[in-house]
């Protein structure tokens, strides 16, 4: 009687190590993000601004569902300004702000968790450029302060900041706390603008749009200054090395 054919010794562990390797997990992350971005392009979530919420539910239920959808959409690269305007238009200023801030924290947590679990091990060995090393040093050593500044002056795209923080050694608590606190002013401005969009000459709408313009300019200036600071820190680290 012939013995059944058995796989070579150690094949299963090698396959498991290959599937769980850093680059295999990073490839899975890239695939997930590409799929999410494609779904966003096909679905066009900006239609919420014109068609409204698809199902008539209570105000509290709508705020909860919108917050969950907000978090998933931001993780899939939907621009936050669109979602913030929709929050104001659908829920009003108060409920819209609460739902948008909660969704912001949820989306940041999803992106940070995915980046930390699937991307950090593969990408950290590639941090060799001066700018990358300086940015990693800043986020790892001064995570809360750096992330708070990024959220207050949104010169860096939301998703990019999430995944850069995930690759660094920044902790969960400083990241989420800085994200929630730093996102409130800009989010509130967009939510109020969305809630008062039908009255474009009202003081609330004018103040909100003015704040958005000022923070946009401030974000661009902060990004420009931050780039030069990273360049200077990168040169310093090379000199010290």
SS3 state of residue 170: coil
Q: What is the pLDDT of residues 173-227, one digit of tens each?
A: 999 999 999 999 999 999 999 999 888 889 999 999 999 888 888 777 766 666 6
Q: How far apart are CA 198 and CA 208, in angstroms?
A: 14
What per-residue confidence (pLDDT) applies to 97?
A: 95
pTM of the model: 0.76
pLDDT value of position 70: 92
Q: What is the pLDDT of residue 48?
A: 58
* pLDDT tops 50 at residue 134: yes
Query: What whole-number distance in Å separates Cα of residue 59 and Cα of residue 36?
Result: 28
C-alpha 181/C-alpha 190 separation (Å) is 16
- C-alpha 179 chain-centroid distance: 9
What rounded mean pLDDT belongs to the chain?
A: 79
Residue 164 pLDDT level (bands cut at 50, 70, 90) = confident
* Predicted confidence (pLDDT) per residue in 10-65, tens digit: 666 666 666 567 778 778 888 888 888 787 777 766 565 556 555 555 667 888 88
Q: How confident is the model at residue 1 (pLDDT cuts 50, 70, 90)?
A: very low
Q: What is the pLDDT of residue 46?
A: 58
């Amino acid at each position: 009687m012939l013995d059944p054919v058995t796989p070579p010794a150690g094949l299963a562990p090698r396959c498991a190590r290959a599937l769980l390797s850093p680059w295999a997990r990073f490839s899975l992350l890239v695939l997930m993000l590409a799929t999410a971005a494609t779904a966003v392009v096909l679905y066009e979530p900006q239609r919420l601004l014109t068609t409204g919420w698809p199902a008539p539910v209570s105000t509290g239920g709508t705020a909860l569902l919108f917050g969950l959808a907000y978090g998933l959409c931001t993780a899939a690269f939907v621009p936050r300004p669109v979602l913030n305007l929709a929050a104001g238009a659908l829920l009003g200023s108060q409920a819209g702000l609460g739902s948008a801030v909660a969704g912001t924290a949820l989306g940041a947590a999803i992106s940070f968790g995915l980046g930390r679990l699937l991307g950090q091990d593969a990408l950290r060995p590639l941090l060799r450029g001066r700018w990358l090393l300086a940015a990693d040093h800043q986020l790892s050593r001064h995570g809360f302060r750096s992330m708070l500044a990024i959220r207050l002056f949104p010169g860096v795209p939301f998703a990019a900041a999430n995944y850069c923080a995930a690759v660094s050694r920044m902790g969960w608590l400083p990241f989420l706390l800085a994200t929630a606190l730093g996102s409130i002013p800009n989010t509130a401005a967009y939510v109020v603008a969305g809630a008062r969009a039908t009255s474009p000459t009202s003081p609330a709408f004018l103040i909100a749009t003015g704040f958005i313009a000022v923070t946009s300019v401030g974000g661009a200036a902060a990004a420009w200054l931050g780039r030069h600071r990273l360049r200077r820190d990168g040169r310093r680290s090379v000199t010290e090395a």
